[in-house]
Structure 1
């Protein structure tokens, strides 16, 4: 099976981390981008080296999916460690194992602690739990790869306590741009749903309270859905089974062909197949279908289970991001959730690189009154945020001029070179959260960056890497940026080094005055 370019890159990146001596690394691929195929190929590589591999997951469907993809993409068969099934005595070099089974002491003790050379964790955002950690600590000598679809590194602070690095990240916007996932359009439904009374539990909203809070609005929601999505294939996520069942009845009364599935459904497989085949056009569930189920023809997602957890939100939306013939985009219905808290996930959080941009996007989408393409909304919001930052930066630069600082403030450097990834950087791993080292600070100062404004070692490392790449590419230095922008020239960070040097030489030749025939605000360097 030929891998897509990003899949091959991620496969190589993971193995490079292990070769460097990093034992526990992460791979981030959006839902629908073939993470199982990638880790199957990684497994194939390890087996060729004579290793034994364990694939660890928390649900039977994920284990079955992993075994199936492994066989289809590599020809490798595997043994199973789950309930009464055991891999002991099997000659297969790959084992798919249920964490609920392997976490038991009796079960673990059947294996020597060096039995597995490599462990793959599917849906790695679960691995901080006690059960996973018991298994991972038992086989602590093994290399570990965690695979997750979590959309941004801000969600990985907890994962950073266990994993040592992020080997590779393929973002949702990139996957959409390169044609591997469906474009997403968001539509805010103008219904004000009051959830201010909903309590908190384990860092998210209490599902029992959410069900009660939603009840009064279900009829209106069904009617609004009919207006905007009656011809679509829809999956609806709700907080409780009873809410899901009630909403299914209301949708059928409105005119939809709706079905409901939950953990107790005896005919679940039949209902899912009927939905796939078009017998139903709406499928309601209480968080059952967030992982391990795919139906590429789904072209509308309705999240009636508001959450603060981006990983969970991404999993729900991910049920509709796959490509399908005749499918132009995924319609994502959002609501005006009234809450005292601001951490609620919205469509913007799927692709925005910072909370600042996400807030601007959410406001723009709410005011649009029609479906808005997320990529276009992100671009507009990012431009708005940059404009606001530049205004703030102008004030900061004026203050800097008064202080006559010889070094460039990191924010000025980031804005000048238009590096959103630097200005919105969030450290994730333990070593990144540490303060910058003395060596990093001295090098930054030598290169013209004011080091006291750099908060952590991760940011310092990114800045030094960017400065090195800019030098190789022949772009302006921080000192050139500070000098020229201090005189009113714009975005000097995007200029070539030689172009900046020439205008500085002209200013020097004019007695350090800007020549009268040059307007700094409009000046563009030659070449």
Structure 2
């Protein structure tokens, strides 16, 4: 019976895919065309199939370590479940590296063989489902980073029953080639290695030139696009009379060359470069010499502990030497007409203050990767709030300035149900069992390049020393480098890592910044994430490009830490303080370009729990965000500022404080509104600033620009010219909202009862109170305009040509407003409601344990085109309610949220049509049965694969 059902499902799926799109097929079986579109990549589909299969086989000619590394997390989870696989690959064209074959041998649940075909060029992924049916993805994608994520590829996913001809042919051919192939052994790899190395000689030079920045291989060094833009901005700042500017650029993006290019353009009589550590001076001077190639060698001087070349035109000095009175006073105050301060976030230190207060240059440039300091020093004020250029991690990865990374989040060592947490004792952290576990994981997830050159961050100095000793004893030579390590020894240890004499440097926070070790190809995090800033600083230690690596492996051992929620937020650079955004961050797979983020199932659950248990909008967090932005701007920041700089979402302030005015009062700022003025501001903030419908915002903006009144026809014409969705229903709805008729009495009272905008003989007018306050209270005017502008900024996230935007979130109240109902309707919608030929359906996909089993309906996706939905019980198919739903003139909109943890907002999945409805019976309790209707809803827009994955049970 079960096999017959599966046969029918496959027949329906194939019919939907190849014969009739209106037939309903199971998503696991419906044919899909995959070409690496946004949210619908080969990697997404491979991950999805691996989660659901009972075994698998990849028949792939070309495989890279960079594609295999993120896949290892899924394969490890499968191994824990006892699911095995096979990989048939090749030595065709000597594309696959010997090291990649060694990585394949580490997969304990995967058998690997080498095809005995010289021209083996197959690309197929086959997933078995309990020996009943198979899913195959066949097309153009090899298992390489770009082929499964970013390249324009063509692949087809099809499903076949075990007796089907296509399955028989595929499996028959696989088994035929498998028998002819030979097992992957170390002996075979060693033999292949000789052949591989010979074939690589003719490509070696071209490969190196391709992998390192253009300015490293070109005789004439020219600025890249980022540097060109930054140089233009710096010049514009100087042209406007400014004497200082700041560049914020993540490590590895060419800040030093940028500074040299600008110095060349400025052509100073004498130039000073200030740095905090002597060991990077020589590299800096070397870079400047390349750009200033026309200058003689004697033009460059170094002022440090061991060198005092004061006469050079271009001086490079450490702050420790320069800040001493006997050396500083050798210079005139105006001796340098251009000063460049590297790692300038340190300029709050007394040594820097002393030097920078002493000199009076014509121009000073500051450069830093980490301006967000956790102290009271205002870096932005020091540079007169002139930010010439800013490039953070995600943008730098997108622009291919940094080495891609594969982040692996796995659970920390566990024994007897215990796992590391914030209070773990040192003996636990350095126990032999934990170290063995760490070694096992780091060896499994490996690194790019010929030799391991890694950094390990741990939580305390003694831990670093003990770990270094234990790892060394276990054939992983390591050295601890802590705050106690003298400078000469630090440099020696770094040199040992670069020369491959040791495999790991183990440190606490010493390497958070200012260290340049391009060879690092593995970063291991054995500590709690205390802040997003430190997390990115430590991650960034491995992101500088090097000819010996193609990516960096970042292995994060996740324990029972309260701050686990910071991990996805830091990786994405999400400062919105919104829990829903944090949950979305956790589901990301690709971060930027070919970089990936991968969590094991257990680690992901720990982070999810941390997000749910953490207050992201505490007063302390919002206060710190406020002070950071205030320091950056040099004035009180407003909602629009937070939106523009991608920090706290305006909705966070509004949900917590009703309006931004109340938050400003908490911050002890001097703003004054009357009670009536605050009611109006609260209305705009709570109802409009989310930007989910732009029309009300534009109406307020235009009417305030026209002294409080606006011709209705002119406004309608303006809205339509902008391409905004607008009809009679929208017009009526907007007027109800702005007159407060939309709202229940309680909210009308909260918003002051008086109409905000009324229609007076086709003239829109704001109320007299509103007009008087807007004209006479500058604080009120400022805050109202800010709320409107923040709303218009939020509206950019939505498709203004449609009433709703796919995959955006809406509350029941939002939906009622947008479709033209009243707020009162939102309290009676519950699961769904039909009114005025519109039916919004709200589904909580995973029902709460608190809900009785008798009403836990099996609402679910059948596939990415079909959603199975149940009406309320005690509904018959011939009832008036069902007749309205089944009426072809009824527009049905589908909204879904994962569970009740996500609050009141639902993702919008688009318009749906009823394709099938059938009467069923529902067991309400042991002695009561009531009718219910099961409905198959066809989505107008096929659900994107990444969004579909969010709702997998």
TM-score category by the smaller chain? 0.5 to 0.7
Larger RCO (CA within 8 A; separation ≥ 6): 1
Hey, which of these two has a bigger chunk of helix by percent? 1
Selected match of 2:422 from 195, 211, 214? 195
Selected match of 1:111 from 331, 342, 346? 331
What is the CA–CA distance in structure 2 between the aligned matches of 1:216 and 1:151, rounded to whole Å? 32
What is the CA–CA distance in structure 2 between the aligned matches of 1:245 and 1:189, rounded to whole Å? 24
Q: How does 1:20-169 map to 2 (within 5 A)?
A: 20-46=240-266, 48=267, 50-75=268-293, 76=295, 77-83=299-305, 85-88=307-310, 90=311, 92-150=312-370, 158-165=378-385, 166-169=387-390
Q: How does 1:277-292 map to 2 (within 5 A)?
A: 277-292=499-514
RMSD of aligned alpha carbons: 4.7
Structure 2 counterpart of 1:227: 440
CA deviations 1:241-299 (Å, max 9, x no partner) are: 54323212212344424344563486765654443344433232454444454343422
CA deviations 1:3-44 (Å, max 9, x no partner) are: 221122112222322332333322111111111111111222
What is the CA–CA distance in structure 1 between the aligned matches of 2:472 and 2:231, rounded to whole Å? 46
Contact 2:345–2:371 (CA<8 Å) still a contact in 1? no
What is the CA–CA distance in structure 2 between the aligned matches of 1:311 and 1:142, rounded to whole Å? 33
What is the CA–CA distance in structure 1 between the aligned matches of 2:375 and 2:393, rounded to whole Å? 15
What is the CA–CA distance in structure 2 between the aligned matches of 1:309 and 1:499, rounded to whole Å? 43
Structure 2 counterpart of 1:303: 525
Structure 2 counterpart of 1:397: none
Distance 1:243 1:453, change over 3 A: closer
Deviation at 1:128, TM superposition (A): 0.9
Please tell me whether residue 329 in structure 1 is matched to residue 329 in structure 2: no
Deviation at 1:506, TM superposition (A): 7.9
- Which protein has the larger Cα radius of gyration, Structure 1 or Structure 2? 2
Contact 2:257–2:287 (CA<8 Å) still a contact in 1? yes
Contact 2:272–2:339 (CA<8 Å) still a contact in 1? yes
What is the CA–CA distance in structure 2 between the aligned matches of 1:42 and 1:506, rounded to whole Å? 57
What is the CA–CA distance in structure 2 between the aligned matches of 1:362 and 1:222, rounded to whole Å? 31
User: What secondary structure, in the 3-state scheme, does the structure 1 residue paired with 2:545 have?
Assistant: coil
CA deviations 1:142-197 (Å, max 9, x no partner) are: 43222111276999973234232222111211111222223333333423333349
Deviation at 1:453, TM superposition (A): 8.5
Q: How does 1:377-392 map to 2 (within 5 A)?
A: none
What is the number of equivalent residue pairs in this alignment? 421
Distance 1:121 1:313, change over 3 A: farther
Structure 2 counterpart of 1:314: 536
Distance 1:502 1:317, change over 3 A: closer
Structure 2 counterpart of 1:394: none
Unaligned runs of 5+ in 1: 198-211, 389-422, 437-449, 458-474, 484-494
Structure 2 counterpart of 1:15: 235
What is the CA–CA distance in structure 1 between the aligned matches of 2:351 and 2:305, rounded to whole Å? 15
User: What secondary structure, in the 3-state scheme, does the structure 1 residue paired with 2:518 have?
Assistant: coil
Selected match of 1:503 from 721, 726, 744? 726
User: What secondary structure, in the 3-state scheme, does the structure 1 residue paired with 2:556 have?
Assistant: strand
User: What secondary structure, in the 3-state scheme, does the structure 1 residue paired with 2:327 have?
Assistant: helix
Selected match of 2:392 from 161, 171, 182? 171
Distance 1:255 1:350, change over 3 A: same
CA deviations 1:369-414 (Å, max 9, x no partner) are: xx95545989999xxx9xx9xxxxxxxxxxxxxxxxxxxxxxxxxx
Selected match of 2:572 from 331, 351, 367? 351
Structure 2 counterpart of 1:243: 463
What is the CA–CA distance in structure 2 between the aligned matches of 1:503 and 1:57, rounded to whole Å? 58
CA deviations 1:208-230 (Å, max 9, x no partner) are: xxxx7476445344223222221
Distance 1:426 1:103, change over 3 A: closer
Distance 1:338 1:265, change over 3 A: same
Contact 1:357–1:378 (CA<8 Å) still a contact in 2? no
Contact 1:185–1:373 (CA<8 Å) still a contact in 2? no
Contact 2:273–2:340 (CA<8 Å) still a contact in 1? yes
Deviation at 1:73, TM superposition (A): 2.5
Contact 1:120–1:146 (CA<8 Å) still a contact in 2? yes
Structure 2 counterpart of 1:180: 401
Contact 1:156–1:428 (CA<8 Å) still a contact in 2? no
What is the CA–CA distance in structure 2 between the aligned matches of 1:54 and 1:106, rounded to whole Å? 17
Distance 1:226 1:480, change over 3 A: same
User: What secondary structure, in the 3-state scheme, does the structure 2 residue paired with 1:224 have?
Assistant: helix
Contact 1:186–1:372 (CA<8 Å) still a contact in 2? no
Contact 1:236–1:303 (CA<8 Å) still a contact in 2? yes
What is the CA–CA distance in structure 1 between the aligned matches of 2:541 and 2:270, rounded to whole Å? 32
Contact 1:119–1:143 (CA<8 Å) still a contact in 2? yes
User: What secondary structure, in the 3-state scheme, does the structure 2 residue paired with 1:433 have?
Assistant: coil
Unaligned runs of 5+ in 2: 1-220, 413-418, 612-624, 639-658, 670-692, 702-717, 737-819, 821-835, 838-888, 894-909, 912-953
Contact 1:121–1:147 (CA<8 Å) still a contact in 2? yes
Distance 1:477 1:107, change over 3 A: farther
